[in-house]
Amino acid sequence: MLRFLTRRVLGAIVIVVAISAVTYFLFFVLPSDPARLACGKNCANAQLVADIRTRMGLNDPVYLQYWHYMTGIFAGRTMPDGTNCPAPCLGYSFADNQPVWPEIADRYPTTLSLAIGGSAAFLIIGVGLGMLSAWQQGKAFDRVASSVSLIGNSVQIYFIGPLAIALFVDNLGWLERGHDPSWTSDPGGSFAGLILPCLVMSVIFWSNYSRQTRSLMVEQLSEDHIRTARAKGMGSKYVFYRYALRGAAASIITIFGIDLGTVFGGAIITEATFNLHGLGTLAVNAVFNLDLPLEMGVMLFSAAAIVLCNVIIDATYAFIDPRIRLA
């Protein structure tokens, strides 16, 4: 198990470094003049642009710029203008000349809370509904659940979000509209304020997971080892949970790992729908403001988070299926 995790961690580090290199090239090499972008859309002072280029270290070779950037993430750095940027240093925003990392650290709890809450909701609802459908295969519940899942998979967050707000908040008053969490000062209010956004974000996912879980469970129930277990006199429920569910769980975890990027994408749309201030809205504002350091910081941080989650999922997968450790 240790060798398996070591290989996965080393592979994850290589992936993150590769992503950082490609991202840095796209953001700071391909643009004709990042210094002009930092100066602003209406900047026409050539001397000011030259001063910004010197202050940002853009006159250095590209490989040296990238080395300084990566060194700053782990050890901090002194910017060319003498400003001290403590680790993790992701540069300074073009828009307000403030460090990028504090802005990301301030916004990330909202996105993380949405991703965790939404994932928990769609895994519980989707997998549970898929298991019930497989248990009731061919019966009325199975047909109704399949129809509901198909409908849920066809809608979008920006469509059902306003409808959910109008129904559950404005008319019935059952739930709160949604607000940024503050887990240290108000955990109860933070939880209540994220129920509706998490449920809305989970709809399109649990619909898909319900159908996939049902298909995987039905396939498992037709395997030879399941028929053998039943022939030995084992109870239906025991066989269903002990053998069929465990056989399907590995595939479900694998699918979840693939969908992690989509989960973060759903969080971005949910933030815009419920006016939450997370990484999604921060990234959108950075794009509109041509704020390259902030864009790169958000992308690199999100990519590292997704890669880390995939390592955890690989470890869980290996724990469930020991054969994977030998791969």
Long-range contacts at 174-181 (CB < 8 A, ≥ 24 apart): 177/274, 178/274, 178/275, 178/276, 179/276, 180/110, 180/276, 180/277, 180/278, 181/109, 181/110, 181/113
28-42, 205-219, 264-278, 299-313, range with the lowest pLDDT: 28-42
DSSP state of 29: T
- Asked whether the predicted pLDDT for residue 34 surpasses 80, the reply is no
75-84, 97-106, 109-118, range with the lowest pLDDT: 75-84
8-12, 100-104, 150-154, 215-219, range with the lowest pLDDT: 150-154
- Tens digits of per-residue pLDDT, 6-17? 888 888 889 989
Cβ-count burial of 122 within 10 angstroms (0-12 exposed, 13-18 middle, 19+ buried)? buried
Alpha carbon 20 to chain centroid distance?
A: 17
What's the confidence (pLDDT) of residue 101? Answer: 92
- Asked whether the predicted pLDDT for residue 158 surpasses 70, the reply is yes
What's the confidence (pLDDT) of residue 37? Answer: 67
The beta strands (E) that lie in 20-136 are given as: 77-78, 84-85
- Asked whether the predicted pLDDT for residue 282 surpasses 80, the reply is yes
Given a contact cutoff of 8 angstroms between Cβ atoms, the answer to whether 248 and 213 are in contact is yes
What's the confidence (pLDDT) of residue 327? Answer: 56
What's the confidence (pLDDT) of residue 326? Answer: 56
DSSP state of 324: G
